[in-house]
Amino acid sequence: MKTNDLIFQTVTKTAVFIIIIYSLHLFFSGHYTPGGGFIGGLMTASAIVLLLLAFDIKTVVNSLNIDYIKMTATGLLIALLTGVGSFFFDVPFLTHTFSYVDLPVLGKTSLATAVLFDLGVYLVVIGVTMTIIQTIGETE
C-alpha cells in the first residue's frame, strides 16, 4: 500500500533541528539552570525517534550511520577518563575543577571539567535509548 506522508515528513524535517538545538541548550545550561546530560540525551534521542517515525528504520540507520553500542562505550570511557585525569594532579578520584577563561565571542566564561563528565552521560543516554528502540523496532 502506497502511503503519503508529505505533511508529516516536512514537519519532521524542520522540527528535528529545533529539538536537537533545544537538547544542546539543555545540555550546556545544566550547570546553572535545570537541564544536564541526562535530559539533553533523552531529547536528542527523541529527535532521532521522530526521524524513525517519519521515515523507515533502514533510511535513518543508513543516513545517520551511528553504532549506538560504540557510542555508549565511548561515553563510559569519557566519564572514566575525567575521573582518572584527577590522579595526574595528586587529588582524589573524580575531583573536578573550573577556571574563568576569556573566550573571543562569549567573553568571560567559566569552563568546568564537570561538562566533560556530563558529555559522557549524554552519549551513554543517547546510546542506550537508541539501542533499545532500534532493537525492538527491528525484531519481527
Residues that bind other proteins (CB under 8 A): 3, 8, 15, 19, 22, 26, 33-35, 39, 43, 46, 49-50, 52-53, 55-59, 133, 137-138
**Min dist. Cβ of residue 71 to other proteins (A):** 19
**Min dist. Cβ of residue 40 to other proteins (A):** 10
**Min dist. Cβ of residue 100 to other proteins (A):** 25
The closest of 16, 40, 17 to 28, measured between CA atoms, is 40
* d(C-alpha 25, C-alpha 13), whole Å: 19
**Min dist. Cβ of residue 68 to other proteins (A):** 15
- The nearer residue to other proteins, 26 or 121, going by C-beta atoms, is 26
- The nearer residue to other proteins, 58 or 108, going by C-beta atoms, is 58
Assign residue 90 a region: left if phi > 0, alpha if psi is -120 to 50, beta otherwise?
left
Neighbour tally for 101: CB within 10 Å: 11
Q: Are 128 and 72 spatial neighbours (Cβ–Cβ below 8 Å)?
A: yes
- The nearer residue to other proteins, 45 or 119, going by C-beta atoms, is 45
Grid cell at residue 128: 542506550
- The nearer residue to other proteins, 79 or 121, going by C-beta atoms, is 121
Across 18-106, the runs of DSSP E, i.e. the strands, are: 98-103
